[in-house]
Amino acid sequence: MSAPLNTSTAPTASTGPMIALSNVSKWYGDFKVLTNCTTAVNKGEVVVVCGPSGSGKSTLIKCVNALEPFQEGQIVVDGTPVRDKRTNLPKLRARVGMVFQHFELFPHLSIADNLTLAQTMVLGRNKDAALSTGMALLDRVGLSAHAKKFPGQLSGGQQQRVAIARALAMNPIVMLFDEPTSALDPEMVGEVLDVMVQLAREGMTMMCVTHEMGFARKVANRVIFMDKGEIVEDATKDDFFGHARSERAQNFLSKILQH
């Protein structure tokens, strides 16, 4: 049996939800992009966040680890309040893996160095231990033969798998995905989703912004549907796909699932 992708051994500091959002609101100047968003993600749960473009999905997920500041409400990650001035945000972010739409790999570093840099600089691991961890995860995403290459020498799907491996190398307690397949050619989407499906099945807590409804149906525990900065529906995947309550969600599903 192959080794798991999820190698985290970090202790859990809280017995409550892994992520808890309470009445989160955010403005860009006078424009309100999030309005009273409240939800929770339990340990081991996979929650998909979907909705039309501009609905606030990416903004919401970036607020979870304070990549985006928010003005009202509260977000607590594993017992740590994100907005508390006493919270060490770099330390918190080190425990929250983040995979972006556009990979965000360092183009001037080899794949191996991309995987080891944060481990040595943030976690304080020695170079040999960091390389061992990085290579093991690179092997698990099927890219060990590319360790000495640079990001520009890989396909988009390969770069995204490296980005996932890099996030996992930090032993995160939760993984956030911000539309990880939207910048990929259609034939590359599957290889990234396969890695995400494996992570979900191994029990990694995940919050995923995505339009991949097949992925949501396969592994999500819950689906959050957003529109105009609000959480319109927060339901189990069966209820969402089979009995969406709001007219807006029904309209969204009728368009996205028609083919």
CATH of the domain at 232: 3.40.50.300
Q: What pLDDT, on the 0 to 100 scale, is given for residue 15?
A: 61
Pairwise CA distance, residues 151 & 156, whole Å? 9
Task: Say if 11 falls within a structural domain.
Answer: no
Query: CA geometry: angle at 203 spanning 156 and 101, to 5°?
Result: 25
Q: Does the residue 6 lie in any domain?
A: no
Residue 9 resides in a domain: no
**Does residue 181 sit within a domain?**
yes
Nearest residue to 97 (alpha-carbon basis) of 119, 128, 120: 119
Domain range enclosing 42: 19-257
pTM: 0.89
Q: Would you state the pLDDT for residue 12?
A: 42
Residue 75 is assigned to a structural domain of this protein: yes
d(C-alpha 234, C-alpha 50), whole Å: 10
Q: Give backbone dihedrals phi and psi of 87, rounded to 5 degrees, phi first.
A: -75, 130
In-domain check, residue 8? no
Q: In one letter, which amino acid is 28?
A: Y
Which amino acid, 149? K
In this prediction, residue 87 carries a pLDDT of 93
**pLDDT at residue 186 in the model:** 84
- Closest of 205, 166, 174 to residue 65, by C-alpha: 174
Sorted by sequence, the CB contacts under 8 Å of residue 143 that are 6+ apart come out as 111, 154, 158, 161, 162, 165
Number of domains in the chain: 1
The answer to whether position 13 is within a domain reads no
pLDDT of residue 6: 60
Distance set, CA 142 to CA 161, 172, 230 (Å): 9, 20, 38
Positions in the chain short of pLDDT 50? 1-2, 8-14
- Per DSSP, 44 falls in state T
Q: Is residue 4 part of a domain?
A: no
